[in-house]
């Protein structure tokens, strides 16, 4: 019996170690995705994804997760694959689950980059959000050590970063998931980090979205030469998922608008929408949140 217990403990330990390592997924020799799909709890950044690109001169980090703790978890996993200096952080947008870990990387001397609209959004709302994390299902201890770090480099349309042997393009053509949501494009690898412009198998957060600009942005991405996409939430994706995202937005907007003309209860509208919308394995709760934030008059 003792042997059996010891064996199961060893097995469990191995399993845990393996799970912890498996999160940094190698996409190219120098490009990794940090896919958070296993745990969509608030303290685990709502399963937000992140990534890294390693150049000759240093590392570019794409998104920093929800807190100092989460940023540290990410950094520890980065250090398992490279010891090069972390030169840049790109925030695909500045929602908390993608940008509140900035402090960890800024402390290492990294330059934090975003679109100027999302730089402004974080400057205007970041401190207040950090004060009221309970509204997002987070406990004060989840956020221990977390400070708001604003991007110090912001652009308005496009930007290229030369990492030494690897060029990274940042593109934002119009407002979408947020006013300044950008994509990170690696042309040579035909690879895209889309941030929350794409949610795959995960109900999207729509409260700050511009639906017309979002649809147009998705069309532009569909026209690009891309084979693999790391979405903001959910598993590694392709253009098929961009198309489905566009269809989801159109369906959600028309049905929610229609239901809100005769119904006032956000939960009841969400229940109806969940019958109509394509099934998603994560974040059913998001649908009611979206309905209340966009389609019902606040009382």
- CB-wise, 122 or 168, nearer to Zn ion? 122
Instruction: Give min distance, CB of 95 to Zn ion, in A.
Output: 4
Number of residues that bind Zn ion (CB under 5 A): 2
- CB-wise, 55 or 232, nearer to Zn ion? 232
Instruction: Give min distance, CB of 275 to Zn ion, in A.
Output: 25
Instruction: Give min distance, CB of 48 to Zn ion, in A.
Output: 8
- CB-wise, 30 or 181, nearer to Zn ion? 181
Other beta carbons within 10 Å of 134: 10
DSSP for the chain, please give it.
-HHHHHHHHHHHHHHHHHHHHTTEEEEETTEEEE--TT--SGGGGGGB-EEEEE-SS-EEEE---SSHHHHHHHHHHHTTT--S-EEEEE-SS-SHHHHTTHHHHHTTTPEEEEEHHHHHHHHHHHHHHHHTGGGGT--GGGGTT------SEEESSEEEEE-SS-EEEEE--S-SSSTT--EEEEGGGTEEEEEEEEESSBPPP-TT--HHHHHHHHHHHHTS--SEEEEEESS-B-HHHHHHHHHHHHHHHHHHHHHHHH---HHHHHHHHHHHSPP-SB-THHHHHHHHHHTS---
- CB-wise, 30 or 102, nearer to Zn ion? 102
Site for Zn ion in 154-183 (CB under 5 A): none
Assigned token pair, 139:
């406990």
Instruction: Give min distance, CB of 75 to Zn ion, in A.
Output: 21
Instruction: Give min distance, CB of 47 to Zn ion, in A.
Output: 12
Contact between 233 and Zn ion by CB under 5 A: the answer reads no
- CB-wise, 30 or 119, nearer to Zn ion? 119
Site for Zn ion in 80-109 (CB under 5 A): 95
Instruction: Indicate which single residue of 63, 118, 196, 241 sits in contact with Zn ion (rule: CB under 5 A).
Output: 196
Contact between 115 and Zn ion by CB under 5 A: the answer reads no
Applying CB under 5 A, the span of 34-42, 111-119, 161-169, 196-204 interacting with Zn ion comes to: 196-204
Contact between 142 and Zn ion by CB under 5 A: the answer reads no
- CB-wise, 87 or 177, nearer to Zn ion? 177
Instruction: Give min distance, CB of 259 to Zn ion, in A.
Output: 24
Residue ranges in contact with Zn ion by CB under 5 A: 95, 196
């Amino acid at each position: 019996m003792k042997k059996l217990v010891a064996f199961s403990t060893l097995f469990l330990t191995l399993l845990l170690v393996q799970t912890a390592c498996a999160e940094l997924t190698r996409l190219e020799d120098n490009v990794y995705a940090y896919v958070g799909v296993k745990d969509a709890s608030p303290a685990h950044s709502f399963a937000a994804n992140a990534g890294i690109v390693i150049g000759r001169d240093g590392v570019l980090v794409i998104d920093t997760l929800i807190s100092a703790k989460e940023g540290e978890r990410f950094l520890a996993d980065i250090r398992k694959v490279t010891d090069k200096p972390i030169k840049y952080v790109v925030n695909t947008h500045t929602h908390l689950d993608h940008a509140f870990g900035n402090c960890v990387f800024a402390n290492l001397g990294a330059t934090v980059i975003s679109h100027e609209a999302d730089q402004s959004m974080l400057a205007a709302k970041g401190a207040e959000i950090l004060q009221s994390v309970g509204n997002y299902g987070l406990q004060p201890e989840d956020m221990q050590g977390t400070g708001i770090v604003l991007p110090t480099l912001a652009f308005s349309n496009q930007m290229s970063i030369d990492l030494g042997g690897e060029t990274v393009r940042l593109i934002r053509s119009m407002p979408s998931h947020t006013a300044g949501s950008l994509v990170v494009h690696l042309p040579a690898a035909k690879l895209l980090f889309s941030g929350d412009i794409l949610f795959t198998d995960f109900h999207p957060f729509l409260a700050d979205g511009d639906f017309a600009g979002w649809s147009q942005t998705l069309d532009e991405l569909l026209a690009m030469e891309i084979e693999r996409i790391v979405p903001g939430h959910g598993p590694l994706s392709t253009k098929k998922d961009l198309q489905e995202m566009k269809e989801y937005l159109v369906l959600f907007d028309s049905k929610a608008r229609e239901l809100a003309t005769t119904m006032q209860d956000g939960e009841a509208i969400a229940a109806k929408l969940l019958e109509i919308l394509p099934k998603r394995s994560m974040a059913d709760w998001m649908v009611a949140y979206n309905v209340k934030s966009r389609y019902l008059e606040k009382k």
